[in-house]
């Protein structure tokens, strides 16, 4: 389990031995959830920060008609979910989480982040610092999304997203496949694919399998 948690951003800069000590110190629990089992229900009180060890988790809500909407999917070891609600002044989750397959989840008590541990260790301070960075990055990501979605056309949204996430060589750095990119931009995947192909035919970008390269920065900026 510790090897799988090394990649977790919450434990960034912390040695494996110290991660093990922290888990024992805070009274964390590893729980096995079977396929389709609910991890937390909508309106449950958030008490723990949860980290996926292995398996697959979806966070969803249901419409009045009973249709399930998937908000997010977590499949990588070390991914956090439900963390925002742990630190909000709310007494309930807006969504529910469900295991898509047999999954192990580590539960860290909320109280661990509000008071120093008995040993007053430096690792405790580091984990709190990491948590602040995670929340700040999530806030930045959501602010960027709001700004991008404020554009009128799909091409403007694509241009804004690519320009804000590329390196000096024009290589777009996004950890999203085509499906997740369409979800982020709130468009149908076929519409996104058609627009990307148009932009490539016009020489604005180059699509090479999963890699996207901006070829004409000036024209991309003029789209905005």
For the entire predicted model, the pTM comes to 0.71
Has residue 175 got a pLDDT over 80?
A: no
Which range among 59-68, 143-152, 193-202 has the greatest average pLDDT? 193-202
Tokens of 177: 């496949």
pLDDT above 90 for 27:
no
Question: Residue 159's pLDDT is what?
Answer: 94
CATH architecture of residue range(s) 151-223? Orthogonal Bundle (1.10)
Q: What does the alpha-carbon distance between residue 72 and residue 136 come to, in Å, rounded to a whole number?
A: 19
- Predicted local distance difference test score (pLDDT) of residue 223: 94
Per-residue model confidence as pLDDT tens digits over 86-135 = 888 778 998 999 999 999 999 999 888 887 666 556 777 888 889 899 99
Whether pLDDT at 71 is above 70:
yes
User: Is residue 151 scored above 80 in pLDDT?
Assistant: yes
Sorted by where each begins, the domain ranges of the chain are 2-142, 151-223
pLDDT value of residue 195? 94
CATH for the stretch 2-142: 2.60.120.10
* In the predicted structure, residue 165 carries a pLDDT above the cut 80: yes
Beta bridge partners of 69: 61
pLDDT-derived band of residue 149, with 50, 70 and 90 as boundaries?
A: confident
């Amino acid at each position: 389990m510790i090897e799988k948690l090394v990649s977790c951003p919450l434990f960034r800069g912390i040695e494996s031995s110290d991660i093990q000590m922290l888990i024992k110190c805070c009274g964390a629990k590893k729980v096995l959830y079977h396929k389709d089992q609910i991890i937390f229900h909508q309106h449950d009180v958030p008490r723990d920060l949860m980290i996926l060890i292995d398996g697959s988790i979806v966070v969803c809500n249901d419409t009045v008609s009973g249709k399930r909407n998937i908000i997010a999917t977590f499949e990588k070891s070390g991914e956090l979910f439900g963390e925002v609600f742990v630190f909000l002044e709310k007494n309930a989750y807006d969504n529910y989480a469900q295991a898509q397959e047999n999954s192990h989840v580590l539960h860290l008590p909320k109280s661990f982040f509000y008071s120093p541990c008995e040993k007053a260790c430096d690792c405790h301070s580091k984990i709190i610092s990491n948590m602040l960075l995670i929340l700040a990055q999530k806030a930045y990501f959501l602010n960027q999304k709001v700004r991008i979605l404020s554009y009128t056309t799909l091409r403007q949204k694509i241009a804004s997203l690519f320009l804000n996430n590329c390196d000096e060589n024009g290589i777009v750095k996004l950890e999203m496949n085509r499906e997740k990119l369409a979800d982020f931009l709130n468009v149908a995947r076929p519409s996104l694919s058609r627009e990307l192909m148009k932009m490539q035919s016009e020489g604005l970008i180059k699509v090479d399998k999963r890699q996207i390269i901006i070829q004409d920065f000036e024209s991309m900026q003029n789209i905005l």
